[in-house]
Structure 1
Amino acid sequence: MKTKLPSYNPPEQRRSHRNHHHHRHSKFHIFTTISLITIIFTYMFNKTTFISNISFNFNPNTTIPIPSNLFNSNQTFIINQLKSTSFSTIQNPVLIVKELIIQESRTDQSLQNPLIPLVNLTETIKISNLEIKNKLPEFDILMNSNQEFETRVKNFFKDCKVRFFMIWISSTFKVFGEREFIAVDALFNTNPDSCLMILSNTMDSDYGFQILKPVIDLGFRVLAIEPDFDILFNNTPAKAWFDHIKNGNHDPGEIPLAQNLSNLIRLVVLYKYGGVYIDSDFISLKDFSGLRNSIGAQSAARSGHWTRLNNAVLIFDKNHPLLYNFIEEFALTFDGNRWGYNGPYLVSRVVEREARKIELNYTVLPPSAFYLVDWTRIGGLFIRPLNRGHAKWVEAKVVQLKESSYGVHLWNKQSRRLRIEEESIMARLISEHCVVCKSFKKTDFLTG
């Protein structure tokens, strides 16, 4: 039996193996050291760069003190601080919030450790930016709190001939422009003894007050007030829907939440207080005091029967059952991905379904009342007469609107970028129905 001898490695070969192993070990240490330095350097560079990139539009003269531990406990505090600060001194308030988010994230222990992979830092900043862009403004709309809301509403509406409502809910800090001011201006020309309440999360501010001041200084009663949704929606079907949206149990959809909130708020305020709701792009041409429990048809068949209704103008008594049906339909069938489904299409399908119930006691007004000019033809109201024939048509249309319509809906989505040209129908109507009148010259056109 042969005995297997151990293999023999010459000294030179053993030295070669040791040298090779030592070389590989050294390369590993070098690679690890370089990687670690790269991570630390990139982290420090990114931290500085991100803060500088988001701060370049921020006015350094504007200071908003916010405690470092407040963000996680009360996110709406940031927006409220921005709203209480003069809008004219803030170039981009969203950037301020973005800076606060990133500064707050630095207090997290995981971000202070340079050994944490960079992907975690990157993902954290991406998430913060996404929340700033998409979630935080919408979240602020839902979380508004105004405990004095109900008291202020009741006190304001004392001794009003007609109660008017407008709604201006914005997730981007927008306030009334010239087009919206024209609607307020015209309203008090034709309804001077009435009151206008603007439910808004941005107009209830010093900046909003300055916009409305020219009308207020003339003695007309207009108030912008931030709604408290918990109070406003309480004891209506809207409350359950609102709670589901606020708690993240219902998908708000792709349509801006502010738009659908506006569709719901107009129904609830009329149900709770009664009065007239008009869109902020509706130019009033007549006294509304003779109207009660009415909704306007946007279109009608040749027989005269309506084919579509619209919710840009609504006139209803307090606690009207049709309004309750509208609110209930909104809460039960809400779809945030279909434009108009929770607005014009909602009132159309409910009225069609309830048409045979005489006890509801309401009137459907013809298209001439509020929608004499369809959205596809609204552009014609902004153009100056091109020739003598066109001038005669303009004159005839102005007369028709004054005689047949309570106002004209401007369909802002289609007309907001159009100029109101001199001697156009719009220029004629506005100049004849205003209390804070604007002159229309070739060099001074108004845009939406």
Structure 2
Amino acid sequence: MTWISPATSFGNREFLAMESLFKSNPDACLVLVSRSLDSRSGHRILKPLLDRGFRAAAFAPDLSSLLRGTPAERWFEDLKTGEKDPGEIPLPQNLSNLVRLAVLYKYGGVYLDTDFIVMKSFRGLRNSIGAQSADSTEKWTRLNNAVLVFDKSHPLLLDFMAEFAATFDGSRWGHNGPYLVSRVVDRVGNGSSGRRNFTIMPPMAFYPAYWSKIGGYFRKPATKSDSRWVSAKLIQLSGKTFAVHLWNKESRNFRIEEGSILWRLISRHCIICQGIYR
């Protein structure tokens, strides 16, 4: 995970992402790449999990060292000297897109955004990226980089970083993230053969609700028809979904209503379960 905001902004829903990760993956080793959480305040946030025996730590990244030997090394040096325009979007947001790629390339593992509820073990996943949308033939139409599962030194990660450096635009939301991975995968193919072997997971794996419809997961059922839909959706999620993306940019101010899909998922996948419905 990465966290680019102050430690004081790391709230209940972000903590829930960690709780649910360990609920389904108790042997996981969680690394938060974050300057603000690599602190006493960050340690206090992690302490409830550490006290229960889970493995979690925060580290401030040395970006020059992390990017050394990658296609983005020169881009970062040019950025530091002012030769590259950082654009209008806050730079840390764009750097987060790059850092996740570099960390996976150098160390391998699973990258996960902090606005997820994890429902299943990731142990069986390898070299995978999720589609957030697909057409009527089930062909993906947009990928997302909020979950990435890759071996160390996987060549697709190099392709992603090379694209980041070559096409960086710091003023277009999504250009260096979801749109970037979509562009590259569209160019190199579906990943079924060759040195870039990887799997594209269907939307139900990580993005079962589109960002504009995530509000339905927060609302309690108001009618019998609503209740049937909630029950059917929970059954579907339990069978096909590894983690539910909450689209925090859209849903951060939504209240989690009792009896809603999200309320029920939280009750099943939390560990400490304190203050998590706010």
Classify the TM-score, shorter chain. Answer: over 0.9
- Asked if residue 376 in structure 1 is aligned to residue 206 in structure 2, the reply is no
Q: For the residues of structure 1 that align with 2:43 and 2:231, how far apart are their CA atoms?
A: 36
How many pairs are equivalent?
A: 276
SS of residue in 2 equivalent to 1:167: coil
Contact 2:134 2:140 in 1 (8 A): yes
Larger Rg over CA atoms: 1
2:128 corresponds to 1:294: yes
Which residue of the partner structure matches residue 185 of structure 2?
A: 351
Q: Give a deviation string over 1:146-183, Cα, whole Å, max 9, x none.
A: xxxxxxxxxxxxxxxxxxxx00013x565411110010
Please say if residues 12 and 275 of structure 2, whose CA atoms lie closer than 8 Å, have aligned partners that are also in contact: no
Q: For residue 438 of structure 1, report the CA deviation from its aligned partner.
A: 3.1
> Which whole-Å CA distance do the structure 2 matches of 1:196 and 1:372 have between them?
24
Q: Which residue pairs with 2:34 in the alignment?
A: 200
Distance 1:374 1:352, change over 3 A: same
The answer as to whether partners of 1:274 and 1:316 remain within 8 angstroms in 2 is: yes
User: 1:250 and 1:286, CA in 2 relative to 1: closer, same or farther beyond 3 A?
Assistant: same
Once residues 382 and 305 of structure 1 are traced to their aligned partners in structure 2, the CA distance between those partners, rounded to angstroms, is: 28
**Could you tell me how far 1:422 is from its partner in structure 2?**
1.1
Distance 2:104 2:172 in 1: 24
Residues 1:436 and 2:275 are matched in the alignment: no
1:257 Cα deviation (Å)? 0.5
Do the aligned partners of 1:285 and 1:402 also contact (CA within 8 Å) in 2? yes
TM-aligned CA distance change 1:426 to 1:315, over 3 Å: same
More strand by share: 2
Quick check: 1:431–1:438 contact (8 Å CA) kept in 2? no
| 1:439–1:387 Cα change, 3 Å | farther
Write out the 4+ residue segments of structure 1 that deviate beyond 6 Å after TM superposition.
Answer: none
- How far 1:439 sits from its partner (Å)? 6.7
Cα distance in 2 for partners of 1:173, 1:245 equals: 26
Counterpart in the other structure of 1:393: 229
Q: Which amino acid aligns with 1:257?
A: L
Q: Which residue of 2 aligns with 1:221?
A: 55
> CA contact under 8 A between 2:218 and 2:262: conserved in structure 1?
yes
Native 8 Å contact 1:203 1:225 kept in 2: yes
- Is the Cα contact below 8 Å between 2:7 and 2:41 reproduced in 1? no
**Structure 2: runs of 5 or more not aligned:** none
Distance 2:228 2:44 in 1: 40
The 1-side partners of 2:98 and 2:247 are apart by 19
Say if 1:175 and 1:202, in contact at 8 Å, map to a contact too.
no
Mapped to 2, the partners of 1:269 and 1:191 lie a distance apart of 20
Select 2:20's aligned residue among 169, 183, 186.
186
Verify: 1:319 aligned to 2:153, yes or no.
yes
Counterpart-to-counterpart distance in 2, 1:219 and 1:346: 37
Q: Does the aligned pair in 2 maintain the 1:175–1:203 contact within 8 Å? A: no
Counterparts of residues 257-272 of structure 1 (less than 5 Å): 257-272=91-106
- Structure 1 counterpart of 2:251, which letter? S
Which residue of structure 2 aligns with residue 169 of structure 1? 4
Listed as ranges, the gaps of 5+ residues in structure 1 are 1-165
Are 1:293 and 1:315, in contact at CA under 8 Å, matched by a contact in 2?
Answer: yes
What whole-Å deviation, never above 9, does each CA across 1:32-87 have from its counterpart, x for those lacking one? xxxxxxxxxxxxxxxxxxxxxxxxxxxxxxxxxxxxxxxxxxxxxxxxxxxxxxxx
Return the alpha-carbon distance in structure 1 between the equivalents of residues 170 and 190 of structure 2.
29
1:106-143 CA-partner distances (Å, limit 9, x unpaired): xxxxxxxxxxxxxxxxxxxxxxxxxxxxxxxxxxxxxx
Counterparts of 1:28-39 in structure 2, within 5 Å, are: none
1:21-420 equivalences under 5 Å are 166-170=1-5, 174-355=8-189, 358-359=193-194, 360-420=196-256
Q: Is the 8 A contact 2:104 2:111 kept in 1?
A: yes
Q: Is the 8 A contact 2:7 2:42 kept in 1?
A: no
Aligned partners of 2:64 and 2:114: how far apart in 1?
Answer: 24
Tell me the TM-score normalised to structure 1 length. Answer: 0.60
Question: Contact 1:384/1:424 (CA < 8 Å) preserved in 2?
Answer: yes
Letter in 2 for 1:208: G
Q: Which has the higher contact order (CA 8 A, sep 6+)?
A: 2
Structure with bigger helix share is 1
Matches of 2:271 and 2:190 in 1, distance apart?
43
For the residues of structure 1 that align with 2:268 and 2:88, how far apart are their CA atoms? 40
Return the offset for 1:302: 1.1
